């Protein structure tokens, strides 16, 4: 297959599925505790059923999706931004690809932080561009000076995940503003986890034409399975991306309808976010009390921590107990790093019990 450009790209593997693990260890899939993908497990099944039912009630699958951009108008009202500055995609991953494809040529450079969400590197390499990763500071803070020093005449794009995945922390707004003001190219600010943090910079898109803020329905809004994301930027860039690079009807009618229904229930969504933050702080305290475990601050719905025991051994022991978390290993100078999704109290208690046994 000579048409494949880059054989160095590895397949993205999110980890063992619930069904696979349940079959391997011989348990019912309903007993598996999935804490590796940062979904919002605080949303009630009642709300999920209501949202889907209300969305289906207004659906005519014979028709193409609404091109009147009703969802964009509702998102504009929710964020207090111009609806013309919003572009909706089939998950924010699609928008990452869209922006990278429209911005970069082969040989162009992209500067991103390290560590961060792995899909950025993948999308850049597929485009044939150069991915330059700049390490965060020891405390996982953003060094805007080092980022700007890495810029060359080939650098066209900067990518910052804020709060960052997998470290979990939100960067100082001043540090990001320094990058926006000091870099002439486009800056993607991925705010996938912003609802769990202190503040968003989405309104700054009105001030900075080179800023693109990515947002998603997959985390706080609990629609990971629906695949719905959006970007906010200046209306001129939004118009160009829609008219020249995005295919028509790229988001299904059902996804748009479900997104609209979720926004109508945003107060209940925010209640679930508040509960997640409360449990996050409780979990941080509980993890900190385990001898040898180091816990990193989080502004998301997950917590990164490391252990005195080999991360793979801990990970495998938890799998044997039907608990799936995310294994990272070495992150910067920290060995044996693991990440766990914050979930309702009974799930966190089961996780902590399993972790303590795995560390014995």
Q: What confidence category does residue 12 fall into, taking pLDDT thresholds of 50, 70 and 90?
A: low
Around Cβ 265, how many Cβ atoms within 10 Å? Answer: 16
Cβ–Cβ under 8 Å, residues 342 and 206: no
Instruction: State the CATH number of the domain containing residue 107.
Output: 3.40.640.10
This prediction's pTM: 0.94
Per residue in 83-107, pLDDT (tens digit) is: 999 999 999 999 999 999 999 999 9
Q: What confidence category does residue 8 fall into, taking pLDDT thresholds of 50, 70 and 90?
A: low
**Measured between alpha carbons, how far is 223 from 209 in angstroms, rounded to an integer?**
29
Q: For the chain, what percent of residues have pLDDT higher than 90?
A: 89
Contacts of 321 (CB under 8 A, 6+ apart): 354, 357, 358
At 58 the pLDDT is 79
Q: For the chain, what percent of residues have pLDDT higher than 70?
A: 95
pLDDT over 50 at 4, yes or no: no
Helix (H) or strand (E) holding 87: strand 86-89
Around Cβ 357, how many Cβ atoms within 10 Å? Answer: 11
User: Between β-strands 294-295 and 229-232, what pairing exists: parallel, antiparallel or unpaired?
Assistant: unpaired
52, part of any domain: no
* Residues 132 and 281 placed together within one structural domain of the fold: no
Around Cβ 3, how many Cβ atoms within 10 Å? Answer: 4
**Measured between alpha carbons, how far is 57 from 355 in angstroms, rounded to an integer?**
44
* Residues 201 and 253 placed together within one structural domain of the fold: yes
Exposure string (b/e) for 330-339, b if CB count within 10 Å is 16 or more? ebeebebbbb
Residue 201 domain boundaries: 61-264
Instruction: Out of 264, 298, 319, pick the residue that ends a domain.
Output: 264
13, part of any domain: no
Instruction: Out of 235, 264, 293, pick the residue that ends a domain.
Output: 264
Omega before 115 cis (within 30°)? Answer: yes
56, part of any domain: no
**Measured between alpha carbons, how far is 158 from 317 in angstroms, rounded to an integer?**
39
* Residues 255 and 130 placed together within one structural domain of the fold: yes
Per residue in 160-180, pLDDT (tens digit) is: 999 999 999 999 999 999 999
Q: Which residue has the tokens 């005195």?
A: 308
At 248 the pLDDT is 87
Alpha helices by DSSP H, listed for the chain, are 18-25, 45-57, 70-79, 92-103, 118-127, 144-149, 173-182, 235-240, 253-264, 266-288, 311-320, 345-359
Query: In the Cβ-directed half-sphere of 255, how many Cα atoms lie within 13 Å?
Result: 23
pLDDT over 80 at 69, yes or no: yes
pLDDT over 70 at 3, yes or no: no
* Residues 102 and 170 placed together within one structural domain of the fold: yes
* Residues 239 and 285 placed together within one structural domain of the fold: no
**Measured between alpha carbons, how far is 123 from 285 in angstroms, rounded to an integer?**
37
At 14 the pLDDT is 66
Instruction: State the CATH number of the domain containing residue 281.
Output: 3.90.1150.10
Contacts of 102 (CB under 8 A, 6+ apart): 240, 241, 244, 245
Instruction: Out of 234, 264, 294, pick the residue that ends a domain.
Output: 264
The total number of structural domains that make up the chain? 2
206, part of any domain: yes
């Amino acid at each position: 297959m000579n048409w494949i450009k880059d054989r160095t790209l590895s397949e993205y593997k999110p980890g063992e599925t619930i069904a696979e693990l349940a079959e391997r260890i011989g348990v019912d899939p309903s007993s598996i505790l999935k804490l590796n993908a940062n979904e919002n497990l605080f949303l009630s099944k009642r709300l999920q059923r209501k949202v889907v039912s209300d969305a289906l009630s207004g659906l005519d699958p014979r028709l193409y999706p609404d091109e009147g951009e009703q969802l964009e108008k509702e998102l504009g009202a929710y964020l207090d931004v111009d609806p013309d500055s919003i572009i909706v995609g089939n998950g924010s991953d699609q928008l990452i690809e869209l922006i990278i494809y429209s911005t970069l040529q082969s040989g162009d450079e992209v500067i991103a932080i390290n560590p961060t969400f792995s899909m950025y590197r993948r999308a850049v390499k597929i485009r044939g561009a150069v991915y330059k990763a700049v390490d965060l500071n020891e405390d996982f803070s953003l060094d805007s000076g080092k980022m700007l020093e890495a810029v060359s005449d080939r650098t066209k794009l900067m990518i910052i995940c804020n709060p960052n995945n997998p470290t979990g922390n939100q960067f100082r707004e001043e540090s990001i503003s320094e990058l926006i003001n000091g870099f002439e190219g486009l800056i993607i600010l991925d705010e996938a986890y912003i609802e769990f943090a202190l503040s968003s910079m989405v309104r700054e898109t009105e001030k900075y034409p080179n800023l693109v803020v990515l947002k998603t329905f997959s985390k706080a809004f609990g629609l990971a399975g629906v695949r719905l994301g959006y970007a906010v930027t200046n209306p001129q860039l939004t118009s160009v991306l829609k008219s020249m690079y995005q295919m028509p009807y790229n988001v299904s009618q059902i996804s748009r309808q479900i997104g609209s229904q979720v926004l109508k229930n945003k107060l209940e969504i925010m209640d679930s976010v508040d509960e997640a933050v409360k449990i996050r702080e409780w979990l941080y305290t509980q993890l900190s009390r385990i001898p040898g475990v180091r816990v990193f601050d989080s502004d998301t719905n997950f917590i990164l921590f490391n252990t005195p025991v080999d991360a793979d051994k801990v990970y495998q022991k938890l799998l044997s107990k039907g608990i799936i978390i995310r294994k990272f290993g070495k992150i910067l100078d920290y060995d044996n790093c693991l990440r766990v999704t914050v979930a309702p109290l009974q799930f966190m208690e089961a996780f902590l019990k399993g972790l303590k046994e795995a560390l014995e």
